[in-house]
Structure 1
Amino acid sequence: MLAVALAAAGAAGAGAARETRPPLYSAGVAGSAFGPDAFRITLPPDASGSYLPGTSLLADAPLPGPGDLLPTGAYPVVPRTAPVDHAALADATRAWLAAGTVPGRTDAEREVATRALLDLALLTDPNGASVASPFGPWHLVWPRDASWHAVAFAATGHPDQARAILRFLTRVQDDDGTWVSRYRPDGTPVRDGRARQLDAVGWVPWALWSWWQAASDRDRPARDTAALREFWTMLRRAADAAVGSLTDTGLPRPSSDYWEQRETRPTIGIAAPLLLGLRSAAALAADLGEPDAQRRWGAAASRLATAIEARFGATGYRRHPVAGAGPDSAVTFLAAPLAPLDAAAVTAAVRRTEAELRMPSGGLRPGNIPRVGDVAWTPATALFALAAAGRGDEESFAGWFEWLASHRTGFGAFPEKVANDGSPASVAPLGWTSAIVLLALATRDGTVGPPPT
């Protein structure tokens, strides 16, 4: 996603990604993901207004005009001339919310969670294509982001949306078990020379495990694994690709990760998701009665965990397993509820990284790399809220959550970035941030079970 952000910023002006106040391209999304008249519009940065309670329908807005509608899935590509039953759409949206759970202990927390859930619903087409954001070059499916979206839906009691995303990811997977970096909502890959991001073979099995763990009795009756068996081929290919990526050192080969740049050394942003994915795959193989796969993937996970602790741990869990490497927010991937290792050492690394990555706005940048710019990124900041929730640190969780909640757009959407003056920047909503915040709340509330081991 970072490379797309840079490209879009470049269109707005040379060096825009490094400015202290990058532009805001969209303020949020409106419409309804449910009902026969479902539609979605992107709200421009200067938009004003409010939503009908419990919906994403604008309280005082007419139907969108020409050019405002997004041509995806079941949403219309041209404005409707017939009246739309907004009351019916509102009822359908509220019924969807009521069918699941809205995490949070206070009204303020639940308001943030409600908006995050509704934004994710509008980012997810009926065919399971769950885009990063509804604006321009972000209107694509990153397997990493989509996996997190699925986990958030599973954790909040919306298994149908989670399963739709998993089916989309299954359809677009290559035969070698990997995914390209991005897909269009119709499932066609974006082949622009961008390197594959190997972390998808970790995130997608984790998303499948999360859906399976959270599935209702209706979807997962006692030991009836038919629903899970649907994804066996996808899981086997992904987990075997993860095993095949491990080198003689026990670490995966160099690969592009969420920073989306070519790498010559292993990164923590690849090693940690692969550990999580292999642990998830082994647990799923056990449920499916596949002992050979369980042993193979479990052994690979153990080998990888040992290598991470030895190589990354020796240098304080930095971006690369070498002396002098910079900090990386991906250190949080090695904390509960994801792929926890040595709790004391990882917690110390997380707290040190927080201090190193803090920006004037109070949020955190992803790491020390010029292309991310000298501003805070909400997904990076949200990952530290998740890590705080995972270790039961209420004070740290509250601090990060309050920062995230107070730096949304006027429509309550999480932007991708926050400028140093505290203003939202880039695109909103960013689905990855919404998903991380929802999982952080659910983890803090105790409704997310222990991670796979």
Structure 2
Amino acid sequence: MLTGAVAGIGAIGLGSTITAALAEAAQPDPVRSVTAAYTGSGRREALDAVAARRLPAQSRVMPDLSDPGPARRQREFLDSCESWLGTLPAHRRDLAVSALLDLWVLSDELPAPVAGWADAWRYVWPRDTAFSAVALARVGLSELSWSHLRCLQSVQAVDGSFAARVDPESGLPPDDRESQFDSLGLVLWAISEVHSVSTAAAAQFDLGEFDDLLRRTTRRLFDLTAHGRSLPPVGPDYWEVGESQVTLGLAGPTLVGMNSLTALTKADGDLWRRLGEDAAAVLLAADDFRATFTRTFGANGMQRYPTSGGSDSAIAYLPAAGLVPERPEGIYALEPELLAGVWDHLEQPAGGIKPGHGWIIDRSSWTPSTSLMGLGFARLGLTDRAESILDWLAEHRTSAGSLPEKISGDGDPVSVAPLSWTAANVIITLDELYGRRGGASS
């Protein structure tokens, strides 16, 4: 999804050299879409600003659509979220509905959400789906969350790997880009989180339905980290570029996944017997990876690479997934001051952040990184900073009300909108601030 890191191998495949990436960075980034909606053609389409003028407020369905199905499904979706929306203060409901509709239009009648509706984004990324599943569970749609996770189980390879992205209809990857190791840890986190939320809401789901996914994922995680004694293999992360060193964007989600294995062990005492693993060995591997992470990334300022590379917004994966000091049962806790320092290093002219110190020389703020940091701040208890980020995201939506992928240095939405990962981050952040911390206020 992220287009234009220094190695030049963005998610839409533009270029493969630093020269090409810098040339791209020097060009204005057009607004490819301001939202996605069902149109009079009967299809879901990415809309430009002109076409979106006819779209009713807080809707992703054009008024002249002859098929009543999309409008009915949109209404039913929002109705099912009404109880959760009631926990929010009045000044946050507009943003919340925008994020919910963005997530709805990118997932309606699909096996899992796509990243966006413009052509190059119209694929299912396991990373995005993990966050979307958690967001849907948080608003009370656990069954829909589980269905999206079932999709990931169905497209997982026998060796436990996930393709970087897959076509939502065929379940097949559209190209031969390398598998991304961060998917393993983030999918484990999503299963653990959705199970926890579902159980708290008395919506019981049998973890046994995901035994195949859990078995394959855990074995690959252990095989490629020597049961937690080494860092994951070198490969691309959310920057979608080639790398010569393992990144925080892979090591952080791996730590998150190991922590989730400990949570799943407590949630299902019969889990590891069913999967042919020993519970004590699983917990030991999680502890060993914590030690591995601590003596590498943790000992060197949590930079993009184990000992260098500068700040990286991937640090926010840890608190976003609950690895915070107030939860001592976790295998690692990130201190609030460290996250705040990374934000300050990465802040851009328009007010959001770029993905990392080594990102291309442009002035854009990237909403996936910005919103992930907002979620991290919320879970760390830095509510003022989280609220400020929500304000910024709300103010920089497109003319149609959708959350875009990027904001230019001049403060204008650019690239594509909506983006499912950003929408999911906003929903989870709102739930952290209000749904889980005392309900609505005026």
* Distance in structure 2 (CA, Å) of the matches to 1:86 and 1:274: 38
Match of 2:271?
Answer: 290
Alpha-carbon spacing, 1:281–1:313, altered in 2? closer, same or farther (3 Å):
closer
Name which of structure 1's ranges 438-447 and 148-157 shifts more when overlaid on structure 2.
Answer: 438-447
* Distance in structure 2 (CA, Å) of the matches to 1:293 and 1:53: 54
1:23 aligns with 2:30: yes
1:170 aligns with 2:153: yes
User: Tell me, which stretches of 5 or more residues in structure 2 are unaligned?
Assistant: 4-8, 326-330
Alpha-carbon spacing, 1:145–1:448, altered in 2? closer, same or farther (3 Å):
farther
Give per-residue Cα distances to partners, 1:279-338, cap 9 Å, x unaligned: 22332244331354433332222111122122112211111111x422100111122543
Q: Is the 2:125–2:166 contact (alpha carbons within 8 Å) kept by the matching residues of 1?
A: yes
- Equivalent in 312, 319, 324 of residue 328 of structure 1: 312
Q: Shift of the alpha carbon at 1:220?
A: 4.2
Match of 2:367?
Answer: 378
- SS of 2:123's equivalent in the other structure is coil
Q: Shift of the alpha carbon at 1:85?
A: 7.0
Instruction: Give, as a single letter, the amino acid of the residue that structure 2 aligns with 1:243.
Output: F
Match of 1:429?
Answer: 418
* Distance in structure 2 (CA, Å) of the matches to 1:124 and 1:388: 27
Instruction: Give, as a single letter, the amino acid of the residue that structure 2 aligns with 1:242.
Output: L
Give per-residue Cα distances to partners, 1:195-231, cap 9 Å, x unaligned: 210001111111111221122689744xxx6x22110
Q: Is the 1:336–1:390 contact (alpha carbons within 8 Å) kept by the matching residues of 2?
A: yes
* Distance in structure 2 (CA, Å) of the matches to 1:57 and 1:346: 43
Alpha-carbon spacing, 1:433–1:219, altered in 2? closer, same or farther (3 Å):
same
* Distance in structure 2 (CA, Å) of the matches to 1:251 and 1:90: 44
- Equivalent in 121, 124, 131 of residue 148 of structure 1: 131
Name which of structure 1's ranges 255-264 and 406-415 shifts more when overlaid on structure 2.
Answer: 255-264
Counting matched residue pairs gives: 417
1:274 aligns with 2:254: yes
* Distance in structure 2 (CA, Å) of the matches to 1:14 and 1:209: 38
Match of 2:6?
Answer: none
* Distance in structure 1 (CA, Å) of the matches to 2:99 and 2:361: 24
Alpha-carbon spacing, 1:372–1:205, altered in 2? closer, same or farther (3 Å):
farther
Q: Is the 1:357–1:364 contact (alpha carbons within 8 Å) kept by the matching residues of 2?
A: yes
- Identical positions, percent: 31
Q: TM-score, structure 2 length as denominator?
A: 0.85
- Equivalent in 376, 379, 383 of residue 387 of structure 1: 376
Match of 1:72?
Answer: none
Q: Is the 2:88–2:435 contact (alpha carbons within 8 Å) kept by the matching residues of 1?
A: no
* Distance in structure 1 (CA, Å) of the matches to 2:385 and 2:290: 27
1:120 aligns with 2:103: yes
* Distance in structure 1 (CA, Å) of the matches to 2:233 and 2:71: 53
* Distance in structure 2 (CA, Å) of the matches to 1:388 and 1:305: 22
Alpha-carbon spacing, 1:112–1:235, altered in 2? closer, same or farther (3 Å):
same
Q: Is the 1:131–1:142 contact (alpha carbons within 8 Å) kept by the matching residues of 2?
A: yes
Instruction: Give, as a single letter, the amino acid of the residue that structure 1 aligns with 2:388.
Output: G
Match of 1:439?
Answer: 428
* Distance in structure 1 (CA, Å) of the matches to 2:309 and 2:257: 25
Q: Is the 1:168–1:187 contact (alpha carbons within 8 Å) kept by the matching residues of 2?
A: no
Name which of structure 1's ranges 373-382 and 44-53 shifts more when overlaid on structure 2.
Answer: 44-53
Q: Is the 1:389–1:397 contact (alpha carbons within 8 Å) kept by the matching residues of 2?
A: yes
Alpha-carbon spacing, 1:336–1:363, altered in 2? closer, same or farther (3 Å):
closer
Alpha-carbon spacing, 1:6–1:56, altered in 2? closer, same or farther (3 Å):
closer
- Equivalent in 333, 336, 347 of residue 358 of structure 1: 347
* Distance in structure 2 (CA, Å) of the matches to 1:387 and 1:139: 27
Q: Is the 2:36–2:45 contact (alpha carbons within 8 Å) kept by the matching residues of 1?
A: yes
1:300 aligns with 2:285: yes
Q: Is the 2:142–2:203 contact (alpha carbons within 8 Å) kept by the matching residues of 1?
A: no
Name which of structure 1's ranges 182-191 and 159-168 shifts more when overlaid on structure 2.
Answer: 182-191
1:246 aligns with 2:229: no
- SS of 2:85's equivalent in the other structure is coil
- SS of 1:369's equivalent in the other structure is coil
Q: TM-score, structure 1 length as denominator?
A: 0.83
Match of 1:255?
Answer: 235
Give per-residue Cα distances to partners, 1:417-436, cap 9 Å, x unaligned: 10000000100001100001
Match of 2:323?
Answer: 339
* Distance in structure 2 (CA, Å) of the matches to 1:218 and 1:387: 24
Q: Shift of the alpha carbon at 1:151?
A: 0.8
Q: Is the 2:21–2:360 contact (alpha carbons within 8 Å) kept by the matching residues of 1?
A: no
- Equivalent in 176, 180, 187 of residue 204 of structure 1: 187
Give per-residue Cα distances to partners, 1:47-103, cap 9 Å, x unaligned: 343655664334xx423xxxxxxxxxxxxxxxxxx56478745643443333x5227
- SS of 2:29's equivalent in the other structure is coil
Alpha-carbon spacing, 1:90–1:253, altered in 2? closer, same or farther (3 Å):
closer
Q: Output the aligned Cα RMSD.
A: 3.0
* Distance in structure 2 (CA, Å) of the matches to 1:45 and 1:17: 23
